[in-house]
Amino acid sequence: MLNLVRDRMRLSQIILLNALIDGRDRLREAIARPIRDERGQTPTEYLMIVGLMAAVILIAFVTFFWNTVKTGASQWANKVNTAIMGTNITP
């Protein structure tokens, strides 16, 4: 009789330990899944490359061509300013 109780106790301990091990493994998998998941990386990488290219082009433009287009940009900025402020509106 004592052996039967002892065996049942050991069986319940084994079941509990297996449940804890399974839970630990599922938790590890749930934590590791977002780290290994590479879905969506390609669009992000493309956007980063396009942004880097735009920055390089803008720096090159400002460095080499700014003196050429400075007057045109200044005139455009003045026209935008007068359009927003409404200074040239006649009733």
Q: Is 64 helix (H, G, I), strand (E, B) or coil?
A: helix
Q: What is the pTM of this model?
A: 0.39
Residue scoring higher pLDDT (35 or 14): 14
pLDDT at residue number 53? 96
Flag whether 39 is in a domain.
yes
Specify the number of domains making up the chain: 1
Which tens digits make up the pLDDT trace of 36-67? 666 666 778 889 999 999 999 999 988 888 88
Say if residues 88 and 82 touch (Cβ distance below 8 Å): yes
> Has residue 90 been placed in a domain?
no
Q: Is residue 67 in some structural domain?
A: yes
Q: Is 39 left (phi over 0), alpha (psi -120 to 50) or beta?
A: beta
In a domain, 74, yes or no: yes
Domain extent at residue 8? 2-85
For residue 34, being part of any structural domain is answered with yes
Burial of 60 (0-12, 13-18, 19+ CB in 10 A): exposed
